[in-house]
Structure formats: structure tokens, C-alpha cells
Structure 1
């Protein structure tokens, strides 16, 4: 009798026994790939990441929010949930393993215009899925955007996620409009759009990190809004492979200018003037198809 094909490990929800066995392996051998304020992340083999956080009040609150949120999200551009458990004073989340985060991709070299547009579409699609469920991510930034080996985009880290119109975390400094009334606004799609626009700006400029502006009179975003459109993107973005004819060069320049203008709309100080995610996606898909 032929046995049915075994379900791929990277697709299944892990059993309690499997999770405990993995935790035992972590305790004996593994050192965290990432360690920070939100806990530690371990890479297990080729398909699994394990996020471990302590069972104190602050970490438990973020863990509970993330677990509740990620169980509602089912989308190709959202990190895949594999399981969760509490074991000996720690809380564990088991997640799909990705290749690198967007910060590393930006630091790793100059992304092409096509790669930037594809990444921007992936992030926007994940964000759209959340917004359709009336959930704001509240902490969009390159560190919270993962890329698979095939450069598919996956949003991660939902510990700050909040339902629309509820008070919650305002995110990471540099990715929200600081010192303004907006920091007191309740969670909404428009605040995520501002963070998203900041990520677009980083992709255009090739900046891996938002520049801190201590002692300066303008923020990273305010400076970008004051710069001429044709000077905002890094020069190398216009020198992509195949730009040998004047016609091709003109098309690429037009695409870059369209992306710059979209970015500036996303970081508009007036949240009501920022585009909706559907409008963003329509524009990006149009740019991608315009060859």
C-alpha cells in the first residue's frame, strides 16, 4: 500500500512534542542569531526560526499581542506561523525561516529599480492584508521586513500591532511623525503609510538606517520633502543594466520620478493626504509593468 506524501516540514503546524524537542536542542546547542529587547531568535535547520522571550510582564504582553495577531494573518507576504508554547519560564513562537532582513539587503549592495519596486509591492500587499482586517502593524521598518532566498517579502514582528482606532505603541523613532499631534493619534492605516513611505525613501536613497537628527532642525523625512525630486534617489539607480539607449534611460528616469513622488505623498505631514494602500499598489504595479 502506497503511503500518502509526507507534508513538508516548513508548511506544517508543529505538535507540542515537536516543539519541546526543538526547545531542548536550543538549550543544548544553539546560540541566538538575533538578540534584542524583544527576545532572542534562533535558526533551526533550513526552514524554522524560533523566537524566545522571557515570561515577564512586558515581554508577555508583546508575545500575547503578536500571537493573537499572527493567528489572524494568512497571506504570502506575512511570515508563516508554525506554532507556539510556554516552556520553563520562556514563551516561544515558531515561525518560517527567511534568508535576511531588508536592512541587510540595503547594506549588501545597490538594489536595482525593479528589485525595489518588487519589494515595495510585497510590503504593501502584506500591509493591505492587515489593513483589510483593520489591524495596524505600528512598527514597520526594514528590520521587520524579511526576504526569502527567492526575495519574497515577509512582514514580521507583530508585538506592537493594534486594531484601528485603539491606543497602542507608536513604533520605532524615525518611522513615525515625531513631536506632532500624530504621536497621540490612535492606530490607523495612515500611520503605517508614513512608516512605509520612510522605507521607500531608504530604498531610493540606499540608506540602511534612518539618519538620526539630534541637534538638527529637520528630520530625515522633512529633508527629503525639501529636496528636488530629481535629486532624491541615489544616482546609481539610473544606471541599471540595459540603460544603453536614450529611450530606455528616459523610461527609467520617469519610473524613478514616479516612485519619488509616491514616496513624498506617503510621508506627507498631513495623514489625510497620504495615499491609501490600494492606490499605492496600483501605482507600483503600473511601474513594474511599464517596460
Structure 2
């Protein structure tokens, strides 16, 4: 079977929007990953628009950690995108049943953060960051894939997404996505924080028996401390992850570059992952020390006073004077 000039070799996977095949491009004799819009989605103009948006989104960017798009076309009544064929495993397969060492988790997440920073700088928000969209190559490089629901920040284009339309995979969605609010690059960095949490602890920060329970946790519950769950091994990395999972976007990292730099600093035990936040904790610690020192001084003074009182009570009174104290020693009595 062919789509355009591409000869289908085998199916690689299926998603909510399409099917991905391994295919051969005879024109330049190379293998490609061919993503084809599912036939049942073709009847929906909204999904067609989103599918074409994926090609437009990743076709605009060139980055070593983002999959390369070669071509887009139509055949058999549907639409296809020819992309770089990747050798490797999706991160969701690698994560299963293990906890990552800090250095390995930092290496993977910092690559994702840098790729997202690059895309965000060009007006592209992924909005569906999850382990299955991150391919880990044999040489431990990552490739970010599937910009199928990416939002292009094009002021001249009509808004394609309806208000309140919830996109993304529930457990990795940010609070603003759950609430149907506008998602930007900080939503992608939130999802990366969820992935980092999962990598170092072996579990997700928010979970539940159904979507409603998951959404309730995401919007209202504080995530557990990764250090308390074991496996994290780094206080600075744990603090970084918790910052990434802040409910308010303004309390998270504002750019992928900033998050990547902070991740790399986690490997330096003498540095803080986000220097701009070091002043407040240091000041708070110094203030606490001053209060404790003052309290210790008060307690010491009280202790000395109590000892003095006890000693006075046990000391016998002095003997009576033979002569009134005002008489001179050489003055005879009357």
C-alpha cells in the first residue's frame, strides 16, 4: 500500500488522531515515519485542521531534539505527514517499573526543556507533553514528537480551538488546561515537571480512579515531596520539581531555557537550582537563628536568676551585730 510516493512497511502505533507507519521513500531511498489521519477523523473538519496544524508547527522548527518533518500530502481521502524515522524507545516504555538516577533524569529532562524553549521561542506550544511523545535514542538523546495539538501563536489566524476544549493527556495536564483556560509554554513545562516527578519517584504526583478525581487533585491538592517518597536523592531536584508543579503559571519556570539551566545545576551540590529564589530562604534562616539566639539568652538569664534565688533561700542569716552599725569601733557605749 502507498500514500503518495511512500511505500508502507509496517504499522508502528495508533493514537487518537492517526496511525503511524514505517514507510520507504523511494525518491531518496530512506525510511520515514508516516503519520496518517484516521479515516474516522476525516469527517471532522476540526480534526483535519489540527492534523495539518501539526505539519505546520513542526515544519517551522529545526532542532536536534525535535523530530524533523519532510513532507505533507493527501491520498486515499485522508492526509499524511512524512517525518524523520527514529530508532529508539518511547519514554513511557523506559519509565515502566523503575526509578531513574538523578543524573539520568536530569539529562533527559534538560534536553526536553531546551527543545521546548526553542519551540516556545517560535510561538509553538505543544500542549500534549507526555512520556509517549518523547523518544529516547540508543545514544541517550531525546526526540520530541507529536505536535498534533500544538497551538500556533499566529495573530493573523482565526482561533481554531473552541473555548473550554480540553486537550492533552489528563495526568500530565496543567491546572489551567484542566480548567479550560489558555495554555502557553509554562503548561508544557508543568507537564515536564510531572514527568520528572515520575522518573525519580516511580509514581505520579496526581492520580485517581477516574478523570474527575485526577482533575480534582491537579487543581486543588499539593503534590507530595519527592524526597519523602524515596528515590529522588537530591533536595535541589525535589525543590525544582515542586516549583514546576506550582498551580499558578507565574510561580513556575517561565522559559524552557531557565528550567534546563536549573536542571543542570542540580548536579552541582554547592549550587541552588534557581538562584533568584535563594535570598528569601537564606534571610528566613538567618532570622530564625537570631530568634533562637535571643530565646536562648532569655532562658539562660532566667536559669541564673532561679539558681540565685535558691542559693539565697539556703544561705543562713548573718549573726546580729554587737554594736549598731553606725557606732565607730573606738567609741565606748553609753
TM-score for the superposition, normalised by structure 2: 0.65
Residues 1:127 and 2:124 aligned together: no
Deviates more, 1:118-127 or 1:36-45: 36-45
Q: CA deviation at 1:262?
A: 0.7
Q: 2:130 aligns with which of 131, 134, 141?
A: 141
- Structure-2 residue corresponding to 1:265: 243
Q: 1:52 aligns with which of 17, 30, 36?
A: 36
**CA separation of 1:59 and 1:290: change in aligned 2, threshold 3 A:** same
**CA separation of 1:115 and 1:216: change in aligned 2, threshold 3 A:** same
Distance across 2 between alignment mates of 1:47 and 1:147: 18
Q: 1:175 aligns with which of 172, 177, 180?
A: 172
Cα contact 2:97–2:202 (8 A) shared by 1: no
Q: CA deviation at 1:258?
A: 1.2
Residues 1:211 and 2:207 aligned together: yes
Q: Which has the higher contact order (CA 8 A, sep 6+)?
A: 1
Distance across 2 between alignment mates of 1:102 and 1:257: 24
Secondary structure, aligned partner of 2:109: helix
Distance across 2 between alignment mates of 1:177 and 1:143: 17
Cα contact 2:65–2:142 (8 A) shared by 1: yes
- Structure-2 residue corresponding to 1:153: 142
Query: Considering only aligned residues, what root-mean-square deviation do their CA atoms show, in Å?
Result: 3.0
Cα contact 1:66–1:158 (8 A) shared by 2: yes
Cα contact 2:197–2:205 (8 A) shared by 1: no
**Structure having the higher Rg:** 2
Q: CA deviation at 1:88?
A: 1.8
- Structure-1 residue corresponding to 2:65: 77
Matches within 5 A, 1:271-286: 271-276=249-254, 277-286=256-265
Q: CA deviation at 1:149?
A: 2.2
Cα contact 1:170–1:183 (8 A) shared by 2: no
Q: CA deviation at 1:207?
A: 3.6
**CA separation of 1:62 and 1:279: change in aligned 2, threshold 3 A:** same
Residues 1:33 and 2:31 aligned together: no
Secondary structure, aligned partner of 1:184: coil
**CA separation of 1:118 and 1:159: change in aligned 2, threshold 3 A:** same
Q: Report the number of matched residues.
A: 248
TM-score for the superposition, normalised by structure 1: 0.74
Q: CA deviation at 1:222?
A: 6.3
Q: CA deviation at 1:145?
A: 1.2
- Long gaps (5+) in structure 2: 25-29, 271-334
Distance across 2 between alignment mates of 1:229 and 1:285: 18
- Structure-1 residue corresponding to 2:324: none
Distance across 2 between alignment mates of 1:198 and 1:228: 12
- Long gaps (5+) in structure 1: 1-17, 238-252
**CA separation of 1:163 and 1:21: change in aligned 2, threshold 3 A:** closer
Deviates more, 1:194-203 or 1:181-190: 181-190
Q: CA deviation at 1:200?
A: 1.3
Q: CA deviation at 1:223?
A: 5.8
Distance across 2 between alignment mates of 1:21 and 1:228: 52
**CA separation of 1:182 and 1:36: change in aligned 2, threshold 3 A:** closer
Residues 1:20 and 2:9 aligned together: no
